[in-house]
């Protein structure tokens, strides 16, 4: 004889089970790490519910203005939220939109200069994300020689310029041997070669400008000579070259010598360097060589390596460059291979030459240090009667020439 026992579960019997399960779950969430993700998600949700969403540049400006007024009255600030950009915006650069720039004039490479949206142009804003698998950058000085490939996953320069010593991919790294188009054996040997004519390691030269710098190895290795070099190049087919320089820890910025002055005051650099930068220095009535003259300190050096210096089929351009440099009273110190070195005079004793090419001389109303969005012109610094930046720091208007002459004698 078998006994069958039937258990009937009534709805009321489930209540204690549910209460016990809820208590156990609450215990686990409160007293164990299992509740941490849920708590974080709750905080994010709370922040989003109390934050205002910003999607345009004008929204940000208005929000900041309103927040400054409100915080001074209430003692608190508003939480603002800006959405993340899409993955395709990882290389976004402010005021450097190739699609927008393509509609501008090609004359003097105006379309490749910096062009910011006009105030009435609404532009959606977002937070630019890092590349996938981005890692903490390698620290200086090791970064001069290598960076993580995944931080800059672009192989175009390595493939096209690797044979010139620019860079190459090795395992998880990009390796920088230190070469360039005009110095494939490395920047160290190139700098040593220049040092035979220029007092690079004498403590006289402290600042340099590298025009059309590539991945900025020249500027990076000049740091070993206690020279601070600012490097620039435009955003072109090698759009990431400046990004490589910055990832390496070398001072650099995106710029184009086109229709405007470069954003530096007069007499800013002891050395201006161009290694195959392809700047047509004598074009447009010598506007670009005049800009070099504005930036160079008295007694400073100009180095042009590559076209048109003794370059095949550019004999006229080379002759024009020499004539323009002579008109500026620059002394040609050396021409070896395709590298030419000039020195700017330390005084103003050579001005009869300057009008042979029709260059204008500056007047007292001209400010050679007015650089931001200032159009290039043909004005030469005839003397230090021109205003010098910053006037409030120097009582003696002759500071440019005198300071350099004192440094040269030391």
Average pLDDT value over all residues in the chain? 80
- In this structure, the answer to whether residues 89 and 165 fall within a common structural domain is no
- In this structure, the answer to whether residues 220 and 153 fall within a common structural domain is yes
pLDDT of residue 396: 44
- Domain membership of residue 82 (yes or no) is yes
- In this structure, the answer to whether residues 249 and 355 fall within a common structural domain is yes
Q: How far is CA 359 from the centre of its chain?
A: 31
Beta bridge partners of 173: 148, 170
Domain that holds residue 69: 54-129
pLDDT of residue 334: 97
Q: What is the mean pLDDT of residues 270-297?
A: 94
- In this structure, the answer to whether residues 149 and 212 fall within a common structural domain is yes
Structural contact between residues 361 and 380, judged by C-beta atoms closer than 8 angstroms: yes
- Domain membership of residue 136 (yes or no) is no
Tokens 């039937």 identify what position? Answer: 6
pLDDT of residue 410: 37
- In this structure, the answer to whether residues 277 and 390 fall within a common structural domain is yes
Residue range 137-191, pLDDT digits in tens: 999 999 999 999 999 998 888 888 888 889 999 999 999 999 898 998 899 999 9
pLDDT of residue 137: 96
CB under 8 A, 24+ apart: contacts of 230-234:
230/264, 230/269, 232/262, 234/109, 234/112
pLDDT of residue 30: 61
**Residue 283's pLDDT band (boundaries 50, 70, 90)?**
very high
**Residue 275's pLDDT band (boundaries 50, 70, 90)?**
very high
Which residues touch 199 (CB under 8 Å, ≥6 apart)? Answer: 205
Residue range 354-393, pLDDT digits in tens: 556 677 777 777 788 888 889 998 777 754 534 443 443 4
- Domain membership of residue 366 (yes or no) is yes
- In this structure, the answer to whether residues 167 and 101 fall within a common structural domain is no
Q: Which CATH number covers residue 287?
A: 3.40.50.150
CB atoms within 10 A of CB 254: 20
pLDDT of residue 362: 75
- Domain membership of residue 40 (yes or no) is no
Q: What is the mean pLDDT of residues 24-32?
A: 67
- Judged by average pLDDT, the poorest of 88-92, 226-230, 250-254, 327-331 is 88-92
pLDDT of residue 28: 64
- Domain membership of residue 352 (yes or no) is yes
- In this structure, the answer to whether residues 303 and 183 fall within a common structural domain is yes
Closest CA to 339 of 310, 318, 317, 299: 310
**Percentage of the chain with pLDDT > 90?**
44
- In this structure, the answer to whether residues 342 and 308 fall within a common structural domain is yes
- Judged by average pLDDT, the poorest of 14-18, 56-60, 234-238, 247-251 is 56-60
- In this structure, the answer to whether residues 67 and 164 fall within a common structural domain is no
- Domain membership of residue 30 (yes or no) is no
pLDDT of residue 347: 77
Q: How far is CA 373 from the centre of its chain?
A: 17
Which residues touch 326 (CB under 8 Å, ≥6 apart)? Answer: 332, 353
The residue out of 99, 129, 159 marking a domain boundary is: 129
**Residue 315's pLDDT band (boundaries 50, 70, 90)?**
very high
The residue out of 129, 150, 177 marking a domain boundary is: 129
- In this structure, the answer to whether residues 156 and 58 fall within a common structural domain is no
**Residue 400's pLDDT band (boundaries 50, 70, 90)?**
very low
The residue out of 103, 129, 155 marking a domain boundary is: 129
- Domain membership of residue 22 (yes or no) is no
pLDDT at 348 over 50: yes
197, two tokens:
């004519």
Q: What is the mean pLDDT of residues 394-409?
A: 42
**Residue 29's pLDDT band (boundaries 50, 70, 90)?**
low
Element holding 229 (H helix, E strand): strand 228-233
Structural contact between residues 177 and 186, judged by C-beta atoms closer than 8 angstroms: yes
Beta bridge partners of 209: 230, 272
**Residue 61's pLDDT band (boundaries 50, 70, 90)?**
low
**Residue 405's pLDDT band (boundaries 50, 70, 90)?**
very low
- Domain membership of residue 384 (yes or no) is yes
Give how many domains the chain has, as a whole number: 2
Q: What is the mean pLDDT of residues 332-340?
A: 97
- In this structure, the answer to whether residues 111 and 155 fall within a common structural domain is no
- In this structure, the answer to whether residues 85 and 199 fall within a common structural domain is no
Residue range 195-250, pLDDT digits in tens: 999 999 888 899 999 999 889 999 999 999 999 999 999 987 656 789 999 999 99
């Amino acid at each position: 004889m078998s006994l069958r026992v039937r258990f009937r579960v009534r709805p009321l019997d489930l209540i204690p089970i549910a209460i016990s399960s809820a208590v156990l779950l609450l215990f686990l969430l409160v007293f164990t790490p299992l509740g941490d993700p849920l708590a974080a998600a709750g905080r994010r949700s709370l922040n989003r519910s109390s934050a205002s969403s910003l999607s345009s540049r004008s929204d940000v400006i208005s929000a900041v203005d309103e927040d400054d007024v409100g915080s001074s009255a209430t003692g608190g600030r508003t939480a603002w939220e800006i959405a993340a950009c899409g993955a395709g915006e990882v290389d976004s650069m402010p005021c450097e939109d190739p699609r927008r720039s393509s509609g501008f004039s090609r004359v003097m490479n105006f379309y490749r200069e910096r062009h910011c949206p006009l105030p009435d142009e609404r532009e959606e804003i977002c937070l630019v994300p890092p590349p996938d698998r981005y890692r903490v950058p390698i620290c200086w000085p090791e970064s001069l020689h290598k960076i993580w490939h995944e931080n800059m996953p672009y192989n175009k320069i390595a493939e096209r310029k690797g044979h010139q010593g620019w860079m190459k991919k090795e395992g998880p790294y990009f390796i920088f041997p230190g070469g360039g188009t005009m110095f494939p054996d490395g920047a160290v040997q190139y700098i040593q070669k220049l040092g035979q004519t220029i007092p690079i390691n004498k403590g006289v030269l402290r600042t340099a400008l590298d025009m059309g710098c590539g991945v900025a190895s020249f500027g990076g290795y000049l740091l070993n000579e206690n020279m601070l070099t600012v490097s620039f190049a435009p955003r072109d087919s090698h759009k990431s070259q400046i990004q490589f320089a910055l990832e390496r820890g070398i001072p650099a910025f995106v710029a184009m010598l086109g229709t405007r002055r470069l954003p530096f005051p007069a007499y800013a650099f002891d050395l201006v360097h161009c290694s195959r930068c392809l700047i047509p220095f004598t074009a447009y009535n010598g506007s670009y060589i005049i800009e070099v003259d504005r930036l160079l300190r008295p007694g400073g050096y100009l180095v042009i390596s590559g076209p048109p210096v003794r370059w095949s089929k550019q004999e006229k351009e080379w002759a024009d460059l020499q004539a323009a440099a002579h008109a500026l009273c620059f002394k040609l110190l050396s021409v070896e291979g395709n590298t030419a070195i000039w020195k700017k005079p330390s005084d103003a004793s050579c001005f009869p030459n300057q009008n042979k090419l029709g260059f204008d001389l500056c007047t007292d109303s001209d400010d050679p240090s007015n650089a931001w969005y200032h159009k290039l012109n043909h004005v030469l610094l005839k003397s230090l009667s021109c205003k010098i930046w910053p006037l409030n720091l120097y009582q003696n208007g002759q500071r440019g020439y005198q300071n350099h002459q004192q440094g040269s004698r030391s």
